[in-house]
Amino acid sequence: MSIEEIVEHRRRSPGKSGTNADRVMPFYRAIMLELERRRLSLELPMDAVADRAGVADRYFSKALHADSPSGRQARWDTLQDIVDALFPEGYDVEIRPKAGLRLGPQDLRCKILLAAAPTDKKLQREVMRVLGKKGGEARREKYKTMSREERQRIAKKARKTRRKNRALRAQLQRRSATTAPRL
């Protein structure tokens, strides 16, 4: 691999989601993630943000999901309009080091779901589904190199935990049945 390829790989995020994924920088995704978190905290619909910023209808969602095939990466002046719409009283910018990988398209999707999940039960289930799928894939890869004894130890622990959880649920149901008001 040449030095140019290494530099280009470091600048771009690994893994592609849509046709625009190779052009979207992790820095842009981080900015859009914070704007989406602010929008969610203000409980504003995306169209209201677009109206306040003076951009086209549904532009905010296209800018947020710039990695998707229909996504668009916003220009700096458009980003400034969106920031002014979400932070009319002003803002401070802080860049600090972070452990882990750069923000990729799938990571952005998960973080947006996590930010929206506390207010929406359906999104909570979606978040747990996505996280469970990622965990399952990671576990499958780990199982490929794991010894038989190690797999058996994990299965035994899982059986014990399931048994314990069933007993706890039964105990809670009995307790709630005896304390439930009678009509």
Q: Is residue 38 classed as helix, strand or coil in its secondary structure?
A: helix
Task: Choose between 136 and 21: higher pLDDT.
Answer: 136
Amino acid at residue number 21: A
Please count the other Cβ atoms lying within 10 Å of the Cβ belonging to residue 53.
21
- Four-way CATH pick for 3-112: 1.10.760, 1.10.260, 1.10.3470, 1.20.1070: 1.10.260
* C-alpha distances out from residue 36 to 105, 115, 139, 181, Å: 15, 8, 31, 44
For 68, phi then psi, to 5°, come to -75, 160
DSSP 73: P
The reported pLDDT for the residue numbered 180 is 60
Residue 113 CA to residue 124 CA, distance in Å, equals: 8
How many other C-beta atoms are found inside a 10 Å radius of the C-beta of residue 33?
17
* CB-CB contact of 63 with 78 (8 Å): yes
Q: Is the pTM of this model over 0.75?
A: no
**pLDDT higher than 90, residue 17:** no
Name which of 17-31, 74-88, 128-142 the model is least confident about.
Answer: 17-31
CA distance 121 to 156: 32
Any idea which of 35-39, 91-95, 115-119, 157-161 has the lowest mean pLDDT? 115-119
| CA atoms of 41 and 176, how far apart (whole Å) | 35
Distance in angstroms (rounded) separating the CA atoms of residues 56 and 62:
10
Q: Which tops the pLDDT comparison, 22 or 81?
A: 81
